Structure 1
Amino acid sequence: MTTILDRRLTPARPDLAARHLMGQVEARAFADAVPMRVVAPSAPLRREPRPDAPLDTEALCGEGVDVYESFEGWAWVQLHDDGYVGYLPDDALRGDALKPTHRVSALRTFVYPGPSMKLPPLAALSLGAGVSVAGEAGDFVVLSEFGRFTSGYVFAGHVAPLDAPEPDFVTVAERFLNVPYLWGGKTSLGLDCSGLTQLALAAAGIASPRDSDMLEVGIGEPVAFDDSLQGLNRGDLVFWKGHVGILTDPDTLLHATAYSMTVMRERLRTARDRIQAKSFGAITSIRRIA
């Protein structure tokens, strides 16, 4: 029987594959992983090495990647955090970048060239981005480095140590209310349903897969439900075929949706009826994270 490997999670092409897959996949050549790190505020991970290729996800500043090939401005990589495979712009990566010590805990924050909000910012970082903090300067933390800059400054109240997760992932998700919908997006400038869920869970220290079908089988425990949709809890994840939302209370769904092209909040039953009639069909499962 032939094993079908998920192309999203398998660094293998007919011409090249990761060396650790030798004997499991057929390829003309195999390559060792070269560890690197994202040094751009965020980087698009595309299905093919061209700027107009579909956006599968985004890698955030500080995220580790394994690079298997670099060519013509692109790097073929596998992300460390969720294992996604695709093509990143190679100028977004560095092999000697420092490992993050902190994560951005605000929805979005600016990086300044000095400890003053009056200076023109160097860049903006989204929630979940990783930074290496070297010290403090008044109300700011000093970054050991930032991309091509030797240092940067971020408001101290907008970052948290990696070992200090948020107590409630639902509260994190609610910060994204009204953020625009973006297929494949994973930042506060735009994100999709599973990107919202993954980001919120990660802020609470819960690692999870990227896409909704992966989330549905890879996290939490199933919750029995019927048409009444009674007995549900805040934090339950509601799945359709190709969609996921988060309950902010037993009757209210928060989700990034193409229906409004935003992250929106609505009654669960209203969403259930509309989605079943017009898009993804019936609810396929509800899962609860312990």
Structure 2
Amino acid sequence: MTGYDPRLTPARPDLAALHLEGKVPAARYVAGTVCQVIVPAAPLRREPVADQPLATEVLYGERVTIYEATVEGWAWGQIESDGYVGWLPSSALAPPGPAPTHCVRVPRTFIFPAPNIKLPPLAAPTLGARLAITGTEGRFVVTAEGGYIPAHHVRPLAGPLERDFVTVAERLLGVPYLWGGKTPLGFDCSGLVQVALDAAGIKAPRDSDQQEATLGKPIDPGVDFANVQRGDLVFWPGHVAIVSDPQTLVHANAWHMMVAIEPLAQALSRIVRTGAVVNAVCRLPAWVE
């Protein structure tokens, strides 16, 4: 197995996933153990060092297959949802509970120890977090662990989905830019796209180059981008932005250092000034009723 993407392949010279035996050289192969994230967002890094850059975040309730756990408190594994590989704090993981049935549909919610919003919350899962819901009590849903969440803050994984993923992104205006971020405490460009699309039931890879290669079909944007429409994705080197309307983009970006709405012409002018060009404009299948 040559030319594999290390971001998506659980393989190192000393250790690899058992299913890669015979495909990737490694000193040993292990089956791995499925775990579940128990914190609002677990940081995933390339190396087991706390001050290394953030590669991505794994949200509350997501599953991760762990292939190695160190005595220093790190776990190396692969995220089930998007296949990303890296190191997480072992303290953020626990054996999996019941399969998730719902996800958080608002930027952030609280899990209370009882159906009483005056009590100190147990946790604060964010948009897209997975939850196993076993019942209802008044205005709350009840988690498998016995926590209580405002019912209108979650939706069944089976639907109804968000009708417009761009609206999801627009609700997050002003959230700070954070390299590797995937929560309302901080997003990067592709993290915003991935989380917004997930809310609409569209599975997306993690990084902008992966999204450019797999999401939708390239279109001709036309002179001065006259042919773009709401929901198109605009890619330039190392970045992805969402067309809000033919004159406007919404994107998490390091220029504004936040999720911002920006005139398309202004963004294109800035790209040209840096010596870059737009790589592609991709259009997803119909997603708005």
* TM-score, L = length of structure 2: 0.95
Quick check: 1:275–1:282 contact (8 Å CA) kept in 2? yes
Out of 214-223 and 95-104, give the one that drifted further.
95-104
The aligned counterpart of 2:253 is: 257
The aligned counterpart of 1:126 is: 126
The aligned counterpart of 1:160 is: 155
Q: Distance in 1 between matches of 2:117 and 2:274?
A: 47
Q: Distance in 2 between matches of 1:42 and 1:228?
A: 40
Quick check: 1:18–1:32 contact (8 Å CA) kept in 2? yes
Unaligned ranges ≥5, structure 1: 146-150
The aligned counterpart of 2:225 is: 229
Quick check: 2:39–2:123 contact (8 Å CA) kept in 1? no
Q: Deviations over 1:65-121 (max 9, x none)?
A: 111111121110100110000011112112232221110001111111111111111
Q: Distance in 2 between matches of 1:192 and 1:278?
A: 20
Q: Deviations over 1:36-56 (max 9, x none)?
A: 211211100111112111210
Q: Offset of 1:241 from its aligned partner?
A: 1.0
Query: Partner of 1:215: helix, strand, or coil?
Result: helix
Unaligned ranges ≥5, structure 2: none
The aligned counterpart of 2:284 is: 289
Equivalent residues in 2 for 1:191-210, closer than 5 Å = 191-210=187-206
Between the aligned residues of both structures, percent identity stands at: 54
The aligned counterpart of 1:148 is: none
Q: Report how many aligned residue pairs link the two structures.
A: 283
Q: Deviations over 1:191-225 (max 9, x none)?
A: 10000000000110000100000000011011112
Q: Offset of 1:11 from its aligned partner?
A: 0.6
Out of 40-49 and 223-232, give the one that drifted further.
223-232
Q: Offset of 1:260 from its aligned partner?
A: 1.1
* TM-score, L = length of structure 1: 0.95
Q: Deviations over 1:1-51 (max 9, x none)?
A: x82211100111111111111122111111112112112111001111121
1:283 maps to amino acid: V
Q: Distance in 2 between matches of 1:245 and 1:227?
A: 19
Q: Offset of 1:227 from its aligned partner?
A: 4.2
Q: Distance in 1 between matches of 2:88 and 2:223?
A: 43
Q: Deviations over 1:164-202 (max 9, x none)?
A: 121111111111111010000000110100000000001
The aligned counterpart of 1:142 is: 142
The aligned counterpart of 1:74 is: 74
The aligned counterpart of 1:63 is: 62
